[in-house]
Structure 1
Amino acid sequence: MPETFASFEEFREITKINAEKLQIKHPRILVDGNEMLRFHGTTIACSLGINGSSNPCTLDQCGLCQILRLGFSANHKFEDTIGVFTASTCGKAIGSIKSFNKPFMRKCVIVCRVIAGRINNPLQEIQEMSYSDYDSLVKNINCQLDIEELIVLNPRGVLPCFVVMYKL
C-alpha cells in the first residue's frame, strides 16, 4: 500500500534526524536509517495462496492477512519486549511462530525491509539509557557477532516485501 510505504520512508527520515542529534555519529544510520533485510514468521488461517487466491481475508487469527491489510503491530509481546520480531534467517523466523498446534494453520515467512536505526546491543556498554533511546533491540547474537534476532520497537520501521509460504 502506498500509505504503508510512505509511513516507512517517513520513519526512516525521523530516524536519520534523531541520529544527527547524537553526540556519537553513526554513519550507517545517517545514510539510510540502518536499513537491513530481515525475516518475520507468522501464520495463515485462510486460503490465501491456494489455487491462486490473492485476496487477504479479515480473520483475526490470520497473521499474514492482518499484516497485509493493517501493517505490523507493536502490540505483540516477544520475550517481555513489545515490538516486531525479526530474524536473520528463515529458520529462526519459522521457529518463532506460535500456531498453538491448530491443524488448519499454515506458516509463512515475510521478507521485510527494516529500519533498525539505533540498536540496543546487550554486548555493548550502556550508559544509563532507556529503551526509548533506541529504535531496535538485539535479542540474540551468534558467535560471529551477527544479529540473529532483532525486535523493531516501532512497527513503521518494518516494511513487508515478499511472502514465502510453507507446506509443513
Structure 2
Amino acid sequence: MPSLVFSGRELDQYRRRRNAAPSPDSFGIDFQQCPYSCSDASSCKLRCRVAEAPRSVFSMEDSPSAVSSGGALRVRRGVDISELFMPASKVSQSRGQSTLLSISTSAARSFCLICGAKPQHQRALICSMACDEKVRLRGHKIMRIPYDHASHKSIVNQFESSWRHTGKKCPAVKHVYLIVSPKLVVDRYEAYRERVEARGNFAATGRSAGNENRRWHGTRRECDLGEDGQTEPCTLPTCSLCKIVRESFDLRFFKGRTGWGRFGRGIYTSSTSSKSDDYACDATAQSSLKSMILAKVVVGRGCKMRYDDTTLTAPPLGYDSVLGEKGARLNYDEVVVYSNEAIRPAYLILYEV
C-alpha cells in the first residue's frame, strides 16, 4: 500500500493534537453524514478523517522507536491527515503553516467515493452505475472530496490559477464537495451535450464532447451547508446556493441579485474565480467561509461579444452560447447559456473570506 512519510517533528505535532482530543468525534467526524456510510470509528474506511490512530493510521512496519530517535513513520495512503492541520491549498502553505498538505496532495490518487475502487478516468469520483445508484439511494446531495483525491487537487488548482484580480489576495480553499444532482437533471444535461456535439463535432478537434468546460458561479448562501458536517441543503427560499444544489440552475430566477444581465436573460459563469467571488455572498454572520459553485457548462459554439446586449434571450443564430470577452465593457470573461439543460452544478467549494 502506498504511504506518506512524516518526520518525528510532524508526528509530535499530530500527537499533541490527538491527545487534546482523543475521541474520533473530537476530530469533527459525523458518521451519520459520512460519505462512506461509516457507522462508528471501528468501521470507518479512513478516507474522510482520522478515526483510529495510531494503530490503523500508521504502518506497523515502522517502529515507534525510529520516530523517537528522529526517524520517520509511514502513514497509510487514504488517511486524510491534513484535515488535522487545516491548511487547504498552496496559498495557506505560503503563510508558513504546516507542509503536511503539500505531502498529501503531491501524491494525489484516484478512487471511487463509494467503493474505493480505481475508476477508469483519473479524476472520476464515482466508478460505476451501481455506485451512482448507491449515492442516490442514500440521499446524498453533496459528498466531501478527500484532500488526497486527484479531483480535489484539480479543482483547487483551477480555483487558484484562475484568481486573476490583482487587488484581491487569493484565499485558501478549505473544503471541496461533489454535488449529486438529481438524475433527471444529469440525464437532460447529457442529452443536450450530445445534441450540441452532433452539430459541432468538437471531439474530432481534440475538445471535449459539446465543448464542455468547467466554469465558476458565485451566488448567495444563507445557511451553513458544507460546514461542520452539514451536507443537507436548506429549504430557505432566499438561499440560492441550496436551491441550485437541490434542483440545478433555473432561468426563472434570472436577475435575482444583480437586477440585470449584460448579455440578456441567461445563466452566467466565468473562467475567472475571482470574478465569480464578486457575486458570492454569505449571509451567515457566524461563518468565516464563502462558497462557490464549479459548474459543467456545454459551451458548444460560442459567439464572442464585447458590447452589451441586454435584449438577448437566446444565443445568436448558429451559436450555442455567448462568450463575453475581456476588454471594452468587461474586465474579466463571462460565459452565458440560455437553457437550463446547458449547465449543471458539479462541485461546491468553501474558502476563506
Task: Using structure 1 for the length normalisation, give the TM-score.
Answer: 0.75
- Following superposition, the deviation at residue 31 of structure 1 comes to 6.0
Deviations 1:35-65 (A, max 9, x none): 1111111121012122111111111111111
Asked if the contact 1:83–1:155 (Cα under 8 Å) also holds between the matched residues in 2, the reply is no
How far apart are the structure 2 equivalents of 1:164 and 1:10? Answer: 27
Change (3 A) 1:52 1:138: same
3-state secondary structure, aligned to 1:54: coil
Q: 1:68 to 1:44 in 2, by over 3 A?
A: same
What is aligned with 2:345? 160
Q: What residue is the counterpart of 2:315 in the other structure?
A: 131
Match of 1:114 in 2: 297
Residue of structure 2 aligned with 1:10, choices 181, 187, 191:
191
CA distance in 2, matches of 1:16, 1:37: 16
**Who is 2:276 aligned against?**
93
RCO greater where, 1 or 2, for CA within 8 Å and sep 6 or more? Answer: 1
Q: Is 1:141 paired with 2:326? A: yes
Q: Which amino acid aligns with 1:119?
A: G
Relative to total residues, which structure has the larger strand share, 1 or 2? 1
Instruction: State whether residues 112 and 161 of structure 1, in contact with CA within 8 Å, keep that contact through their aligned partners in structure 2.
Output: yes
Number of equivalences? 152
Change (3 A) 1:12 1:58: same
Q: Secondary structure at the match of 1:4?
A: helix
Report the CA distance shift for 1:120/1:9 in structure 2 as closer, same or farther (over 3 A). Answer: same
Corresponding residue of 1:127? none
Which of 216, 228, 233 is matched with 1:39 structurally? 216
Task: Identify if the C-alpha distance between structure 1 residues 30 and 91 changes in structure 2 by more than 3 Å, giving closer, same or farther.
Answer: closer
The equivalent residue for 1:74 is 251
Q: Distance in 2 between matches of 1:66 and 1:93?
A: 18
Per the TM alignment, residue 11 of structure 1 is displaced from its structure 2 partner at its CA by 0.7
Q: Based on CA coordinates, which of the two structures has the bigger radius of gyration?
A: 2
Deviations 1:60-116, CA, capped at 9 Å, x for gaps: 11111110111101231422511111111210111134x4x9564974211111100
Taking the aligned partners of 1:157 and 1:28, their CA distance within structure 2 comes to 21
Give 2:301's aligned amino acid.
R
Whichever residue aligns with residue 108 of structure 1, its letter is S
Q: Is the 8 A contact 2:222 2:284 kept in 1?
A: no
- Kept in 2, the 8 Å contact 1:41–1:93? The answer is yes
Q: Deviations over 1:138-159 (max 9, x none)?
A: 22336xxxx8211111121112
**TM-score, normalising length: structure 2:** 0.38
Structure 1 unaligned blocks of 5 or more: 124-129
Cα distance in structure 1, aligned partners of 2:213 and 2:236: 30
What does residue 61 of structure 2 align with?
A: none
Matched-pair identity in %? 28
Query: Cα 1:14–1:29, aligned 2, differ >3 Å: closer, same or farther?
Result: farther
Q: Structure 1 residues 92 and 28 mapped into 2: Cα distance closer, same or farther (>3 Å)?
A: farther
